[in-house]
Chains A and B, each alone.
Chain A
Amino acid sequence: MNAEGGRNSMIQVSHVSKRYAGGYEALRDVTFSVESGEMVFITGHSGAGKSTLLKLITAIERPTAGSVVINGQNVSAMKAGMIPFFRRNFGLIFQDHKLLFDRNVFDNVALPLAITGFPRGEIAKRTRAALDKVGLLGREKARPIALSGGEQQRLCIARAIVNRPAILLADEPTGNLDTAYAAEIIAMFRSFNQVGVTVVIATHDADMIERLGPRILHLDHGRIAA
């Protein structure tokens, strides 16, 4: 299909540009592909276009030019009515968390399952399993505001994995965390990756990941820099 894409390519981004209203060009002619089961880091300075790239992948934003194909589905050509179902393939961790502070930990994690329409018993089972994986099982009834920064980050991860997504997209999941804690979080992503989940993590914290020797896509002013 695509020069760079293998047969099992999960994410294919081809010649994508994104110009925001107002004229700012956040991405210029970006091309790359991520295989199914791969773990990739997107790095780059603040404003390089990391978040924009992740938003294009999940159809939160539309590319000005180029195409995004996820698991064989062309996102740019997708009908609006299909987008909610398309998004359920992803586990999303947002840069600004987007936790619901008027709901407790359990309800925050249960939200994607309620949206998918699982029965209540199944929701409770899967939610507890996800909370267990991130070590928050004892905090079910707590409000997110009562959690530490690191715990809030784990809560975001639990919400992202509860639907057992094929792809995990994490935007700065270790921002504002100390090195030890950040390493713990990254280890968690590796364990998800090891069971076959495709993982894409955007971070400006290049030092932290270098010793892991993973695949890195470096963005510089909206362009891929090797």
Chain B
Amino acid sequence: MNWLLVHLDTLRESLGRLLHQPVASALNVIVMGIALSLPAGFYLGLNNLQAFSRQLSSDPQVSIFMEVDAGKADVAAVEQRLKANPDIGRVEFISRDQALARLKRSAGLSDVLANLGRNPLPDAFVVTARSNDPATLESLHDQAVKWPKVEHVQLDAEWARRLDAALNVGRALVTLLAILLAVALVAVTFNTIRLQILTRRDEIEVSKLIGATNPFIRRPFLYFGALQGLAGGLAAWAIVAVGVLVLNIQLADLSGLYGALFKLEWPGTGDTLTLLAFSALLGWLGAWLSVSRHLWLIEPQ
């Protein structure tokens, strides 16, 4: 119980020390916040992109475009082949007239289309495969391109899979960035604690002389490092949160244009707690390194 009180006292004292130098502390916290917000923000962005790409690639679709001069018989032949294929679930036929009608509904294009005089669009099938297996889709694509009067076959999930691969690269980069900036955060704390140890030199010396143990002397510095790191983590969270808010306002406009809902998700509770714990831990580590490095230099005379 007393033990706990002693630790709470140290915590209170460290907090007091942090608030006692508001400018220096604020600068440190801002630097840490910015450093942490970069990997945290990218991480969040990647997660959002991934969720988006998952959502798209969950519909394994293949679009088959006929040649513009394909007749009804050609279309029927392709439809026949599709129906015969056991890998295929649903087949939707979009005639060139339907496609044109849809396009005309899109804002801004009706004038252009009116000037064209004739319909430039082909008949098309949108085919949904039974499984998400890339090999199945691939083989369907390879077969369909050889069918007569088929102009072009497009794997709609392909770009989503490419995006997924790119996201993996992005994730590796974020990890690298996080490691680099974690080192920076440790370095900032290391230096802050070094300065503190120097300014509290007398206190440390007297404390050692009258019976303070090394853990007792170390404790306030470690708490300070952890608190400052935690504050840096909170600042990073705030920066990311503001970023999400601002981007969502922009995305709302975009959503209006495309008729789809684009919206960034907030950092989850788990991710937020991880960020805060991680930043506090880094602050603690920086302080620990600094104290280990500098404390033994102060030997009482």
Residues of A whose CB lies within 8 Å of any CB of B are 58, 60, 81, 84-88, 92, 94, 98, 100-103, 111-112, 115-117, 119-120, 159, 163
Q: Is the CB of B2 within 8 A of A116?
A: no
Contact check, A85 vs B206: say whether CB atoms are below 8 A apart: no
- Taking a contact as CB atoms under 8 Å apart, the answer to whether A117 and B210 are in contact is no
- Total interface residues in chain B, CB < 8 Å: 20
Q: Is the CB of A117 within 8 A of B2?
A: yes
Residue in contact with A115 in the complex, picked from B9, B202, B211, B300, CB distance below 8 Å: B211
B265 within 8 A of A: no
> Bound complex: CA of A60 vs CA of B207, how far in Å?
13
Q: Are B209 and A115 in contact (CB under 8 A)?
A: no
Given contacts A98-B202, A98-B205, A100-B203, contact A92 B210 (CB under 8 A): yes
Contact B211 A88 (CB under 8 A): yes
B246 contacts A by Cβ under 8 Å: no
Q: Is B6 an interface residue (CB 8 A)?
A: yes
Q: Smallest Cβ distance from A15 to chain B, in angstroms?
A: 25
B residues lining the A interface (CB < 8 Å) = 2-3, 5-6, 9, 202-203, 205-214, 216, 300-301
Asked whether B300 lies within 8 Å of A100 as measured between CB atoms, the reply is no
Q: Is the CB of B2 within 8 A of A85?
A: no
Tell me the minimal C-beta distance from A44 to chain B in angstroms. Answer: 20
Taken together as a complex, chains A and B put the C-alpha atoms of A98 and B301 apart, in Å, by 11
Measured between beta carbons, the chain B residues less than 8 angstroms from A98 are: 202, 205-206, 209
Q: Which residue of A lies closest to B9 (CB)?
A: A120
Report how far A208 CA is from B152 CA in the complex, Å: 112
For B9, the chain A residues whose CB sits under 8 A away are: 120
Q: When the two chains form their complex, are residues A84 and B202 in contact, meaning their CB atoms are under 8 A apart?
A: no
Residue from A100, A112, A120, A159 in contact with B211 in the complex, judged by beta carbons closer than 8 Å: A112
Question: Could you tell me if B210 and A88 are in contact, using CB atoms closer than 8 angstroms?
Answer: yes
Contact present for B205 and A87 (CB under 8 Å)? no
A84 and B5 contact, CB distance less than 8 A: no
In the bound complex, CA of A87 to CA of B6 (Å)? 21
In this complex, what residue of A is CB-closest to B200?
Answer: A102
A117-B6, A119-B5 are contacts. A111–B207 as well, Cβ < 8 Å?
yes
User: CB < 8 Å: which of B2, B203, B211 contacts A87?
Assistant: B211
Q: How far is the CA of A100 from the CA of B199 in the complex (A)?
A: 12
